[in-house]
Amino acid sequence: MRRNQILSCLLMVICVSAIAVPTKKPAENTTQRGAGADRWKEFRFLIGNWSGDGAGPAGQGLGDLSVETDLNETILKMTNVQNFTGKDRKTTYRGTMIVSAGSKALFLDNEGHVLHYNITFGPKTITFLSQPEPNSPRFRFSYLDLGGNQMKCSLDIAPPPNLDKYMIHVSGTATKK
């Protein structure tokens, strides 16, 4: 009898977990980095206005990236405008990334994508990795400081079901204006 009760409880837990897994936790964040420290230290090389070119399956493009702090330095706003000349048409791609404290970012673009990113820092590198979503590709933006006001940027996409197998979508070099 007792064994069955334990089994039932265990199944209940599994059941509740199975239902709870797909529910996304809201991205609430009220933590702040230390007020005295430079909260955007890792992003300093990125702050400014950039122009560059890129090429990939999406086409050949020229674009601008503007990176600035806002709201009294509590957020970092990255605005990207890219003009692509594809095989049969020209398109303008616009995207905005909002970075808040806690290494989280929200990305919106004019194609209707809404992506939530986690940010990691490496030597002279900042990587934005989108959170995995069922039946959706995973995106990875990387910015590598090349020095001399230059950086390498790339956007990689991992199509489902292999969300860790990235392919370069667009890659290029940008120069600070």
Partner 1 sequence: MRRMAAVTGLIIVLVLSVMAQTNKELERALTPDAMKTFQTERARLYQWDSFKFLMGEWKTKGTAANAGFEVTSSLDGKALIISNTEPSLAIAARSKSANYKSLTFVYVEGLTQKATFYDSDGRVLTYNVQAEPRKVALVSAVPSHPSMVFEETTEGAVSIAVGQASRTKLVPQAKIQAVRVSK
When binding is defined by CB under 8 A, the residue of 28, 34, 36, 148 that contacts partner 1 is: 28
When binding is defined by CB under 8 A, the residue of 38, 49, 70, 165 that contacts partner 1 is: 70
Kindly state the smallest distance separating residue 74's Cβ from partner 1, in Å.
Answer: 5
Q: Distance between CA 163 and CA 119 in Å, rounded?
A: 17
Count other Cβ atoms within 10 Å, centred on residue 63: 22
Among positions 82-101, residues that touch partner 1 (CB under 8 A) are 94-96, 98, 100-101
Q: Is 11 in the site for partner 1 (CB under 8 A)?
A: yes
Count other Cβ atoms within 10 Å, centred on residue 129: 19
Q: Is 167 in the site for partner 1 (CB under 8 A)?
A: no
Stretch that binds partner 1, among 110-118, 119-127, 138-146, 154-162 (CB under 8 A): 110-118
Which DSSP string do the residues of 115-149 spell out, in sequence order?
Answer: EEEEEEEETTEEEEEEPP-TTS-EEEEEEEEEETT
Among positions 30-49, residues that touch partner 1 (CB under 8 A) are 30-32
Q: Is 118 in the site for partner 1 (CB under 8 A)?
A: no
Q: Is 111 in the site for partner 1 (CB under 8 A)?
A: yes
User: Can you read off the two tokens belonging to residue 154?
Assistant: 């790339």
Q: Judged by CB under 8 A, how many residues of this single chain contact partner 1?
A: 41
- Is residue 85 within 8 A of residue 101, CB to CB? The reply is no
- DSSP lists the bridge partners of residue 64 as 51, 81
3 or 87: whose CB is closer to partner 1?
A: 3
62 or 108: whose CB is closer to partner 1?
A: 108
When binding is defined by CB under 8 A, the residue of 14, 55, 146, 168 that contacts partner 1 is: 14
Kindly give, in sequence order, each residue whose CB lies less than 8 Å from that of residue 39, ignoring residues fewer than 6 positions away. 32, 33, 73, 101
